[in-house]
Amino acid sequence: MNLKNHLIFTLYTIYGILLKVMASKGKVRGISGQYPLVQNVTVTEGGTANLTCRVEYNDNTSLQWSNPAQQTLFFGDKKALRDNRIELVRASWSELTISISDVSLSDEGMYTCSLFTMPVRTAKAYLTVLGVPEKPEIDGLTKPALEGDQITLTCITQGSKPAADLRWFRNEKEVKGAKEVNASGKTFTVRSSLNLRVDRNDDGVAYTCRVDHVALTQTTQQATEVLEVHYPPRVEIIHSLAIPQEGQYLKLECVSKGNPSPDPVMWTKDGGELPDLDRMIVEGRELTFTSLNKTDNGTYRCEATNHLGTSQAEYVLYVYDPNALGQHGTDHALIGGVVAVVVFVTLCLIIVLGRYLARHKGTYLTNEAKGADDAPDADTAIINAEGNHAHAEEKKEYFI
Ligand SMILES: *[C@@H]1O[C@H](CO)[C@@H](O)[C@H](O)[C@H]1NC(C)=O
Ligand SMILES: *[C@@H]1O[C@H](CO)[C@@H](O)[C@H](O)[C@H]1NC(C)=O
Ligand SMILES: *[C@@H]1O[C@H](CO)[C@@H](O)[C@H](O)[C@H]1NC(C)=O
Ligand SMILES: *[C@@H]1O[C@H](CO)[C@@H](O)[C@H](O)[C@H]1NC(C)=O
Ligand SMILES: *[C@@H]1O[C@H](CO)[C@@H](O)[C@H](O)[C@H]1NC(C)=O
Ligand SMILES: *[C@@H]1O[C@H](CO)[C@@H](O)[C@H](O)[C@H]1NC(C)=O
């Protein structure tokens, strides 16, 4: 009994050691480690997908790839399905790689690699096919649009998988649209709308709709439309002199903005035609006086018209007498100067006193007297505007 048990135990031990030795030499891997390995594959529509199946330890057992419809594609290096797009890349005992070119959305699905051991071992690889979005199209543009119109720009792209994203840009700056996604078969139709109330600032502005999609890494798909907005004119008169004086040259320019461009503009004086004078020249949008005369006084009006409306601007010309003006002008300048200096000195005093009061609460009376000495009367202040300034700065430093 004992001996028999002992013998059986010994046999089992030897068998165990044998198994281990064989396993280490890779002879029995079929039982424990012989299995196919695959990876999921993602490919863009029209591209080529490689399906690779690997077996690390193989005892010359055949490998096979089959498609989602369970049809065998390749059995070892033997092609089983007639499809020109499917080719053998590599076949060995440890690997079976095939390629599918010009992949279409219908190729998507679960592919199976089988290793014909007993029992058969399989591995499944999912082939994902990305649908490339078509070039987007922008709809809903009225050309030209009228100022104040409410328009809705719609951008549509079809054929994306997964659904693409659409982004709007107004002259490069992103603006928010309203997106809508519909499935059509395996792909998606994506639409994004943009509501606009157009005004004259939209004239010539480019609206771009760009497609964002995982299959568009190298290229950009986008569409651009440039708005054309028609609007009534708006005119303005720009004059070359602030104080027109007799004998001077004066140019009045009628700046008109409108679309279509209001051309030509019309000049009138005091509601009537311009006097026919050699000194007065109308050239395009400009009215030029080569030498002003008192008799030129009056209200000058320029008017611009396009099919959407009319706009006018006025300029009241008052020709000053150079002699009278000389007197006047200097008076104004003098008063202006006096006011400026007085304000400046006052401000300096406030700042200086403020600082001083904050630091030397006890002694401000004496220094106030000093401050009063510094600003004697307005006339001196005007004459010594520069000097006063320098003095004030000095004082500030002194108090700090
Ligand atoms: C497929 O495999 C072949 C051979 O190894 C290689 O040249 C090709 O680039 C691979 N294609 C893809 C899409 O990985
Ligand atoms: C595997 O096949 C090769 C020839 O392709 C042969 O030499 C080898 O003996 C085979 N091995 C096994 C374990 O069948
Ligand atoms: C492969 O794809 C399938 C189906 O999409 C998924 O269930 C599985 O987890 C994926 N496997 C790997 C390794 O990503
Ligand atoms: C999505 O479907 C709805 C309802 O069928 C339809 O009204 C809409 O126009 C569709 N949108 C797109 C972007 O195709
Ligand atoms: C202004 O016009 C009047 C009459 O046309 C002329 O007598 C006078 O000399 C002119 N004055 C100047 C400064 O040109
Ligand atoms: C024109 O302006 C002068 C001042 O330069 C004024 O004396 C004169 O009355 C004005 N004439 C008219 C017609 O308005």
Mean per-residue pLDDT of the chain: 82
**Token code pair at residue 373:** 């000495």
Q: How far is CA 121 from the centre of its chain?
A: 53
* Protein residue with its CA nearest to atom 11 in ligand 4: 182
Q: How large a percentage of the chain has pLDDT more than 70? A: 73
Closest CA to 119 of 54, 30, 37: 30
Question: Ligand 3 in contact with 126 (CB < 6 A)?
Answer: yes
- CA dihedral 38→39→45→50, nearest 10 degrees, is -50
Q: Flag whether pLDDT at 351 surpasses 60.
A: yes
pLDDT of residue 353: 64
> On the CB side of 34, how many CA atoms lie within 13 Å of its CA?
23
Closest CA to 258 of 227, 235, 283: 235
pLDDT of residue 121: 95
Closest CA to 376 of 393, 365, 388, 361: 388
Question: Ligand 1 in contact with 89 (CB < 6 A)?
Answer: yes
Q: Flag whether pLDDT at 145 surpasses 50.
A: yes
pLDDT of residue 59: 87
- Residue to mutate (ligand 4; options 180, 193, 209, 211; most atoms within 8 A of CB): 180
In whole angstroms, how large is the CA radius of gyration of the chain? 46
pLDDT of residue 362: 45
Q: How large a percentage of the chain has pLDDT more than 90? A: 64
Domains defined for the chain, CATH in brackets: 36-130 (2.60.40.10), 134-227 (2.60.40.10), 232-317 (2.60.40.10)
Q: Flag the least confident range among 18-27, 196-205, 270-279, 349-358.
A: 18-27
Q: Flag whether pLDDT at 385 surpasses 50.
A: no
Question: Ligand 5 in contact with 246 (CB < 6 A)?
Answer: yes
pLDDT of residue 381: 41
Question: Ligand 6 in contact with 236 (CB < 6 A)?
Answer: no
